[in-house]
Chains A and B, each alone.
Chain A
Amino acid sequence: MSISFLSKPKAANTGTNHWWWQRATAICLIPLSIWFVVSVLGHINDDHAAASNWIKSIPVTVLLLSFMVTVFYHAKLGLQVIAEDYVHDASTLKTILFFINASMILGGLASVSAIVVISFIIP
């Protein structure tokens, strides 16, 4: 039986990199996601002024930006593994991976833009 696919240097390299980043983002997300959920629970009744003033404070802006960027990167890595495991057709996989990357990048950009607008642009 051929095991030539096991020795492809490209797969070995990106595999380790992917594995490492998935764990690194997971570890970062433990405190960040708990902070996010607890904070949002504390601001559940906020009106617009209270909610935007909360996000405008520098520590909150920084934490929220870190949380959103890490979430979207972690989501991209996770969705990618699932697609690679279950999509058996190479060209379909390529298309799906493109949509995963595109939507996670768009999501990340949209959330960063929204936070920047709240923190630095709206009164």
Chain B
Amino acid sequence: MDKTPLSPHLQVYRPQLTSVLSISHRATGVVLSVAGTAIILYWLIAIALGADTYSEAKEILGSLPAKIVLFGWTGAFYYHLLNGVRHLLWDTGWGLDLPTAYKTGYGVLIFSILLSISTWAYVLQKVVS
């Protein structure tokens, strides 16, 4: 049986910003693929099934535990989006040097936090009003 090349185990390395951001891209990707799509699917199917199912889903999605999960969804989404752009820029050859990689890394972190907070400031004032 031929062995294909595999990534080394993560615990071999001392964690640093670049490696933590890299594994976070995969972690948020998995979360968005599994839980993220499930939430969107639930919302779409609830609309498709009619007014009663929809208002039930709206109530469930508006509950406090769901709000916390959706806040996590927003954070994972913005992080994966911004860090994904960072990856696409790397594919063009831009930003691969260490100082730039650190700058864009911090930028991705700060902007995903800012975007998540402003999104939820908007959501909460809109839902309340």
Contact = CB atoms under 8 A, between A and B. Distances in A.
Chain A interface, DSSP helix/strand/loop, else mixed: helix
Given A41-B119, A85-B6, A114 B88 contact: no
A118 B29 CA distance: 28
Contact of B3 (A5, A41, A72, A115): A5
B13 interface: no
B11 to A, nearest CB: 12
Question: For this complex, into which size category does the number of interface residues on chain A fall?
Answer: 35 or more
B50 A122 contact: yes
A44 B47 contact: no
A55 interface: yes
B92 to A, nearest CB: 10
Interface of B: 1-7, 26, 29-30, 32-33, 37-38, 40-41, 44-45, 47-48, 50-51, 54-55, 74, 77, 81, 84-85, 87-88, 91, 119, 122-123, 126-127
16 contacts: A5-B5, A23-B88, A23-B91, A26-B87, A29-B84, A44-B123, A47-B54, A48-B51, A75-B32, A84-B4, A88-B6, A111-B40, A111-B44, A115-B44, A118-B48, A122-B48
